Structure 1
Amino acid sequence: MSSLVKNVGTIGGLTLVSRIFGFVRDMLLARVLGAGLAADAFQLAFILPNTFRRLFAEGAFSVAFVPMYSRALHGEGGEGAADRFANDVLSVFLWALLVFSGVMMAAMPGVVWVLARDYQDVPGKFELAVFLSRVTFPYLALISLVAMLSGLLNARSRFAPGAFAPVLLNIVLIGGILTGAWLRGDSHDDRIVALALAISVSLAGVAQLAYLWWAVRRAGLKLHIRVPKLTPEVRRLGMLILPATFGAGIYQVSQFVDTFFATSLPQGSLTLLKLADRLNQMPLGIVGIALGTAILPMLSRHIHSGDAAEAQRLQSNAFEMATLLTLPAAAALAICAPAFTAAFFVGGKFTAADGAIMANIVVALVAGLPAYVIVKILNPGFFAREDTRTPVWTALAALIVNIAINLYVVRRFGIVGLAGATAASATINCLLLYAILHRRGWFRFTAKLGLRILRQLVAVAAMSALLWWLMPLLAAHYSGGAFERAWSLSALVAAGGTSFFAAAWVVGALDKDLLAMLTRRRARPAPAQE
């Protein structure tokens, strides 16, 4: 438990910093661009490289590469075998990324037409989306290499550099927004801001790659780009990546499906969806990504050493930590969504009407927040055993459900219905993954874990009642001056957090051993990882 808490704390803490900068970025973006033509075009241009990044880098490649690299590192060959494997993979991976990026940039008009052909109905919107997408797409190759370097460090329990890299992205993008707003001046030409942002995306990729390369060199790893060679280990990696790509690809197709439906709705819908997802991503990124990243190499070691009991304990601890943090976060976000959207986003070109729609989207999205995080805990149970096929079928089932629900609800409920369909399909994927793990005896939901989560729900109910009562009392202040917004939101956060943890303590929802461990960490901080 101590290793898990330490690693999750490192990743989660730095991810929190990244999410705060990302939040500032989106606040500025909402005020400077609003939810109009240029904002929608940029959102699509930003979605494309990031979706393929999740598919190639953070999805299929990472889940196949990290266990293989970890096994080589801790096997008979040691450092030498691990270095050879990493260099062979880098040499093939780099050229594959360059070729794919070139093909996609050449085919960009067709790609944008498939995802957002309704943009052609608005003069200049389709052409702007194509141009911006070509400017941002080099980010894919850069961030994919960043993901590989992060994987090398994660396998050595050095999580800090990979977790810090997204901070650089958000800092550079904030600079892009401010630069674009300055260049636009009084011209009211939002395309200037959108172009500055698109250029910033690729510049951020350069900054992230330079930082990770420095971190890898500092860790004592020496990487060299060679003539690509398909060694037996590289071919094995490819055989593992193929089904994982298909599985992750299904999830990313689901993201493209959401994008397709969102671009068919009134102008600004895609922007509102992505801004609402920022609130959803705060706890998802801090908790889900941290747990998923920390658990995979640890779980791999327990499984390969034949310690099934320790593997079960590790996943149970991660499951409990996930629900302890996501259940109250989901409830609080759903209840307080109007306050958060009004206080953080409404202003400048972002209207109160935009904020009201965005609040409803947040409510729909966070209904699936626990499932989004738990999936990141359950998937490593397959990946650590080099089973990259099973998640394919659960993701396929979730995709079919997602499309079916969207076909029914989007016409009736618009962008809010689309967000609800995303939450429903994520929940189904989560249930399917657990059912398979349980059936195979790889992870079982114990009575102890169930009782702990039941007590967490009691604490969530107590917190929700207080927030439901407090929300209307402070309603006049959410759209006031900066000080009014700050103290009213602070009051909501303080009331929610205090009431939840107080109730959780009273009903026994908190693991006293975990609290003691966290206290010890605060008293004697571990040396920072590089």
Structure 2
Amino acid sequence: MTMLSRVLGLARDIVFARFVGSEAGADAFFVAFKIPNFLRRLFAEGAFAQAFVPVLSEYRQRGNRAAVRALLDRVAGCLGLTLVGVTALAVLGAPVLTMVFAPGFMGQEAKFALASEMIRITFPYLLLISLTGFAGAVLNSYDRFAVPAFTPVLLNIAMICAAVLLSPYFDPPVLALAWGVLTAGVVQFLFQLPFLLRLGLMPHPKVDWGDPGVRRILALMAPAIFGVSVSQINLLLDTVIASFLPTGSVSWLYYSDRLAELPLGVFGIAVATVILPSLSRHHAGAGAQQFSATLDWALRVILLVAVPAALALILLAEPILYTLFQYGKTTARDVAMAGLSLRAYALGLVAFMLIKVLAPGYFARQDMKTPVKIGIVAMVANMGLNVALVLPLYFYFNIGHVGLALATALAAYLNAGLLLRGLWRRVYQPGPGWGRLAWQFGAANAAMAAMLVLLLQQADGWDVWGWQTRVGYLAGLCVAGFLTYTVALAVTGVRANDFRKR
């Protein structure tokens, strides 16, 4: 389901590239959409989910269904009231949000006004999708993973329809995308309610800030905001800085980030979603050995996918961008610029995916303070790297946006390394076979990279080919790389059974 969602998300971005390209209106929309989307990841699906799921799992472990229902009622009431207040303030203060998150727009009146108008339209999405995230967290806690994973498909369908069918009726056309976001929020929220009803867990909202469960979740949320969402904060800071760079920088970062997010979303977030309830139950049941084994399994699965995905994105950056996005208003220069930032993001892909599975190791143990400290260190490092990389790359090569992506990647490795070290000291004991697995993975990735480099030398003309030729060549490259990798794994002795969690 996550794969379907991400593929449709890619289709959505292809439509965006064709209809809005990298013009000023596109920059304004991506800022307007990123603000509520960032807050959703930060509070609703980020800090809230990581604080809520362990507490809910503990209530469920005790076997008291009445207590579970009471907790859901009070969490729904408190969360809903907070979201209504935040949304109302944001809609009223949209120009202030534009100044805070895109200060570079202030000298461009039309761009600034358009971004503010679209923030007013898109911000209620935060309310709707956060409630959707609450429902999804409940379903995940009861091992109903498919429905929450499928829900983002509805967002992608709504936005594709808005771009293709509605944009000709708006002036400027990009406004249709903002209304598509709002519509998607309504549809996603309503979609999950029947599944809660089927479980008999439909909340009846009650505002009770003094409830012990609510207070525990709030206490865990405050530090979790930094612990789970440092990479999102870094990406948002990138948007702020990119607003001062040449027009198109925000869009180039968006398109390259979306491609890096594809393997991250399909595998990294999917594995993290599955292991958090399991880790929480192991911790509540004092199953330290099972806790460590689950984490070890997750790390092996992530590395199996993350390393070849990163290599493929680095080697195939321009072919992928030409095939997916270089149509309509997107130019060859846009591809070249986005290709540079895509390579920089891809360098950090392994770290991004490791963070997704390492952070739940702390949240399942209801340890929010350690990820906070690590997150602050990584964020400070990221800002320092921004200064060190963006300025010289901008002034000497006019590619400042690449410095933003590279700084994010380097800071992610610092974050992942510190998270792993902390778990290693406390609870994680690596299973047997890591040394053998390292050379097997290394040999398979080297074989795949060699095959792709060889085939790329035979393919020249991506900028002039039609879409059919591009798709054919790219599909051939992907198939050849995948087959080379899997065959090399098999030759070195890797088997599917090695990755089946027992």
TM-score, structure 1 as length reference: 0.91
Instruction: State the match for 1:29 in structure 2.
Output: 16
1:324 to 279, 304, 325: 304
Is 2:239 the counterpart of 1:259? Answer: yes
Q: Is the 8 A contact 1:342 1:479 kept in 2?
A: no
Shift of 1:438: 1.1
Deviation at 1:397, TM superposition (A): 0.7
1:477 Cα deviation from its structure 2 partner: 4.9
Establish whether residue 214 from structure 1 lines up as the match of residue 194 from structure 2. yes
Tell me which moved more, 351-360 or 299-308: 299-308
Q: Quote the residue 1:391 is aligned against.
A: 371
Q: Classify the secondary structure of the residue corresponding to 1:279.
A: helix
* 1:410-458 C-alpha deviation (Å, 9 max, x unpaired): 1222111111111100111000001111122x11345512431331121
Supply the distance in 2 between the matched residues of 1:329 and 1:433 (Cα, whole angstroms). 22
Aligned to 2:481: 496
Matches within 5 A, 1:120-199: 120-183=106-169, 191-199=171-179
| Preserved contact between residue 276 and residue 361 of structure 1 (Cα < 8 Å) | yes
Work out the CA distance in 1 between the residues paired with 2:354 and 2:123: 30
Secondary structure at the aligned position of 1:193 is classed as coil
Deviation at 1:390, TM superposition (A): 0.7
The answer as to whether partners of 1:330 and 1:369 remain within 8 angstroms in 2 is yes
Measure the CA separation in 1 of the matches of 2:500 and 2:143. 23
Secondary structure, counterpart of 2:246 in structure 1: coil
Q: Is the 8 A contact 1:320 1:453 kept in 2?
A: no
> Does the 8 Å contact 1:438/1:444 carry over to 2?
yes
Equivalent pair of 1:273/1:415 in contact (CA under 8 Å): yes
Alignment equivalent of 1:476, drawn from 461, 478, 483: 461
The partner residue of 2:350 within 366, 370, 374 is: 370
1:203 aligns with 2:189: no
For 1:16, the aligned partner's letter is M
Pair 1:15 & 2:38 matched: no
| Distance in 2 separating the partners of 1:222 and 1:343 | 44
For residue 91 of structure 1, the aligned residue among 67, 77, 83 is 77
Partner residue in 1 for 2:316: 336
Q: CA deviation at 1:482?
A: 2.5
Q: Which amino acid aligns with 2:49?
A: S
Residue identity matched to 2:2: T
| Contact 1:101 1:138 survives alignment (8 Å) | yes
2:397 corresponds in structure 1 to none
Counterpart residue type for residue 90 of structure 1: A
100-109 or 483-492, which deviates more: 100-109
Amino acid at match of 2:344: A
Q: Letter of the aligned partner of 1:486 in structure 2? A: V
Q: Residues 232 and 515 (structure 1 numbering): CA distance in 2 closer, same or farther, change over 3 Å?
A: closer
Helix, strand or coil: the match of 2:366? coil
Q: Distance in 1 between matches of 2:300 and 2:496?
A: 9
Indicate if the aligned counterparts of 2:61 and 2:284 stay in contact, CA closer than 8 A: no
**Is it true that 1:72 corresponds to 2:45 in the alignment?**
no
**Alpha-carbon RMSD:** 1.7
CA deviations 1:122-151 (Å, max 9, x no partner) are 240011111111110000011111111011
Residue deviations 1:236-294 (CA, integer Å, cap 9, x gap): 21111122124346544323211111111100100110111111011000011101100
Deviations 1:507-529 (A, max 9, x none): 12444344799xxxxxxxxxxxx
The structure-2 alpha-carbon separation of the partners of 1:306 and 1:30, relative to structure 1 and needing over 3 Å to count, comes to: same
Other-structure match for 2:270? 290
Counterpart of 2:492 in structure 1 is 507
Instruction: Find the residue that maps to 2:172 and give its secondary structure.
Output: helix
Q: Distance in 2 between matches of 1:514 and 1:180?
A: 46
Q: Point out where structure 2 has 5 or more consecutive residues left out of the alignment.
A: 394-399
Amino acid at match of 1:499: T
* Deviation of 1:214 (Å): 1.8
Q: Is contact 1:91–1:229 with CA below 8 Å preserved after alignment?
A: no
Instruction: State the alpha-carbon separation in 2 of the partners of residues 314 and 168 from structure 1.
Output: 31
Asked if 1:420 corresponds to 2:400, the answer is no
Match among 465, 471, 474 for residue 486 of structure 1: 471
Indicate conservation of the 8 Å contact 2:231/2:412, yes or no: no
In terms of mean alpha carbon deviation, does 367-376 or 227-236 score higher? Answer: 227-236
Aligned partner of residue 443 in structure 1, secondary structure? coil
On the 8 A contact 1:478/1:485 being kept in 2, the answer is: no
- Which one of the candidate residues 427, 439, 445 is aligned to 1:460? 445
Q: Output the CA distance in 2 between the equivalents of 1:355 and 1:117.
A: 26
* Residue 74 of structure 1, CA deviation: 2.1
Distance between the aligned counterparts of 2:219 and 2:497, measured in 1? 44
Q: Percent identity?
A: 37
Gaps of 5+ in 1: 1-13, 185-190, 518-530
Query: Matched residue pairs, number?
Result: 496
1:64–1:237 Cα contact (<8 Å) kept: yes
**What residue identity is the alignment partner of 2:363?**
F
Deviation, structure 1 residue 475: 2.3
Alignment match, 2:43? 56
Q: Tell me which moved more, 254-263 or 155-164.
A: 254-263
Answer whether contact 2:257 2:345 (CA < 8 A) is retained.
yes
Q: Which amino acid aligns with 2:151?
A: A
What secondary structure is seen at the aligned counterpart in 2 of 1:291? Answer: helix
Q: Matched residues in 2 for 1:227 and 1:328: separation?
A: 48
CA distance in 2, matches of 1:248, 1:379: 7
| Paired letter, 2:254 | K
Match of 2:292 in 1: 312
Once structures 1 and 2 are overlaid, which stretch shifts more, 107-116 or 426-435? Answer: 107-116
Shift of 1:226: 2.8
- From 291, 303, 314, the equivalent of 2:283 is 303
- For 2:78 and 2:494, locate their aligned partners in 1 and report how far apart those are by CA, in whole Å: 49
Distance 1:434 1:196, change over 3 A: same
Alpha-carbon distance in 2 for matches of 1:473, 1:479 = 15
Is structure 2 residue 408 aligned with structure 1 residue 435? no
Task: Note the C-alpha offset of 1:464.
Answer: 0.2
